[in-house]
Amino acid sequence: MSVKQLPLRVAVVGCGNISDIYLKTMPKFAALRVVGVSDLDSDRARAHAEKYGIARAIPLDQVFDDPEVDLILNLTTPESHAAIALRALESGKHVYGEKPLALTVKDGRRVVDTARANGLRVGSAPDTVLGAGLQTCRALIEAGEIGDPIAASAFMTTPGHERWHPNPAFYYQPGAGPMFDMGPYYLSALINLIGPIEHVSGMARATYAERTITSEPKRGETIQVNTPTHIASQLGFANGAIGTIVTSFDVWGANLPRIEIYGTTGSLSVPDPNTFGGVVRIKRRESEWEEVALTHPYAENTRGLGVADMAEAIANGREHRANGELALHVLEVMQATLDAAAQRRTVAIETQVDKPLPMASEPFAANVESMNV
């Protein structure tokens, strides 16, 4: 199935916490129309449909074959991402999912290959890279404001999710940890700013064998840690730039930048890649750091922007930006980082990907009737 008419009819599968921001934002885009929601918990699906004025709560065993659905928005938990995506694609639906694309490179390849074989599209979070902050940074780099990028650093450090998340055990199992949890934001940003990655090396450790939950409702329960929780990696970019990335659940506090890009004539401070806006700062040669005004739209939380971009791309016959090939490249880099640490060697990256198209300086067409949602 190749849908050319807009709006694309979207069914949301998975009505967990992240679904709320998507359901608030997507009605603002003229390219999208949410026609249904679905969840293993049918009561929760019905509650979401009522809360957001959606016509239908569709049973999970029916949503994939529903003729009124063009695209499945996959907001299930990570271990279900590949299975849900494959079922959607095999049913003739486009699919856009939360990160990561899958828990293994093998499953990620199956998703991308299945989409290609069926003439369908796969998209994947994060779409924060399409926001005002990262796109302003990209425009500065591509305009030569810091010269040629020669290096980058990225840091994501927290003391762990058991302090606030209601069900944090998954974050300490294979397929999660700080790299798989937050790495997609940082790596997607770096690839958009600098380009694809050719090889990685790294070191990793699990500092604590178990964690005690201090959040509700599971306060006092213990979690067995089965994946590294502090990971430091070196990234070799195809253009010769060298990157350093640290992701950690073991750091109580740090005075570190989120992302910085270092060029031959200056440096760029990039805002938190888990947000759409943020402060952009630049230092040119001998000058002091100065703040740069954002030059692109979508500085507010606009999750669902990637879905709208994919719908516009389908209608216009272009590649969408938060695409499956990029998500697969990110997934391989994350897995290769852990493999490099375990094997104490440099690991080559097999997937090849182009930098996505930059965003335009004007927003997509809005759905005027939904601007107050």
CATH number of the domain enclosing 164:
3.30.360.10
Residue 338 belongs to a domain: no
- How do beta strands 230-237 and 242-248 pair? antiparallel
Q: What is the pLDDT of residue 368?
A: 53
Type of residue numbered 265: T
pLDDT > 70: what percent of the chain? 97
Mapped onto helix, strand or coil, the DSSP state of residue 134 is helix
Does 3 reside within a domain? no
Structural domain range at position 41 = 8-127+302-321+357-370
pLDDT one-digit tens code per residue, 122-165 = 999 999 999 999 999 999 999 999 999 999 999 999 999 999 99
In this structure, are 114 and 25 located in the same domain? yes
Domain shared by 42 and 59, yes or no: yes
Q: How confident is the model at residue 373 (pLDDT cuts 50, 70, 90)?
A: very low
pLDDT at 106 over 80: yes
pLDDT digits (tens, 9 = 90+) for 22-42: 999 999 999 999 999 999 999
Residues 106 and 52 in one domain: yes
Nearest Cα residue to 279 out of 267, 265, 268: 268
The pLDDT assigned to 371 comes to 40
CA distance 123 to 198: 22
At 321, the pLDDT band (50, 70, 90 cuts) reads: very high
Residue 175: CB atoms within 10 A of its CB come to 19
pLDDT at residue 365, rounded to an integer: 86
Asked if residue 141 is part of any domain, the answer here is yes
Cα–Cα distance, 198 to 349 (Å, whole number): 5
pLDDT of 2 above 70: no
Total count of domains within the chain: 2
- Predicted confidence (pLDDT) at residue 237 exceeds the cutoff of 60: yes
Model confidence pTM above 0.85 = yes
The mean per-residue pLDDT over the stretch 227-237 comes to 98
Please check whether residues 150 and 263 belong to one and the same domain. yes
Look at the chain and count its residues: 373
Q: What is the mean pLDDT of residues 168-191?
A: 95
Answer yes or no: do 188 and 114 share one domain. Answer: no
Mean pLDDT of 248-268: 97
328 found inside a domain? no
Average pLDDT over residues 324-337: 98
pLDDT band at 4 (very low <50, low <70, confident <90, very high): low
Which domain-ending residue is among 251, 273, 292? 292
Mean pLDDT of 316-339: 97
pLDDT score of 325: 98
CATH number, domain of 65, equals 3.40.50.720
Mark whether 109 and 133 lie in a shared domain: no
pLDDT score for 5? 85
What are φ and ψ of residue 278, in 5° steps? 100, 175
Extract the tokens encoding 354.
């182009």
pLDDT bracket for residue 367 (50, 70, 90): confident
The token duo for 240 is: 């010769």
Q: What's the pLDDT band for 372 if we cut at 50, 70, 90?
A: very low
In a domain, residue 345? The reply is: no
Residue 237 and residue 146 in one domain? yes
Together in a domain, 47 and 89: yes
One-letter identity of residue 222: T
Rounded alpha-carbon distances, angstroms, from residue 182 to 117, 158, 218, 299: 30, 11, 23, 20
Question: Is 206 inside any structural domain?
Answer: yes
Helix (H, G, I), strand (E, B) or coil at 179: helix
Whether residue 178 is found in the same domain as residue 278: yes
Whole-number percent of the chain with pLDDT over 90: 94
Q: How many Å apart are CA 284 and CA 288, to the nearest integer? A: 7
- Indicate if 166 and 243 belong to the same structural domain: yes
- Single-letter amino acid, residue 60: L
Does residue 330 belong to any structural domain of this protein?
Answer: no
Determine the average pLDDT of the residues in 53-79.
Answer: 96
Same domain? 33 vs 153: no
Radius of gyration of the chain (CA): 20
Please indicate, yes or no, whether residues 145 and 99 belong to a single structural domain of this protein.
no
Q: Average per-residue pLDDT in the chain?
A: 95
pLDDT of residue 318: 96
Q: Is 159 helix (H, G, I), strand (E, B) or coil?
A: coil
Interatomic CA distance for residues 273 and 329, integer angstroms: 17
| 355, 191 Cβ separation under 8 angstroms | yes
Q: CB–CB of 31/367 below 8 Å? A: no
- C-alpha to C-alpha distances, 169 to 32, 163, 256, nearest whole angstrom: 35, 11, 27
**From 169-178, 183-192, 342-351, the region with the lowest mean pLDDT:** 169-178
Residue 370 has pLDDT above 80, yes or no: no
Q: Which two tokens stand for residue 132?
A: 């005002």
Residue 238 lies in a domain: yes
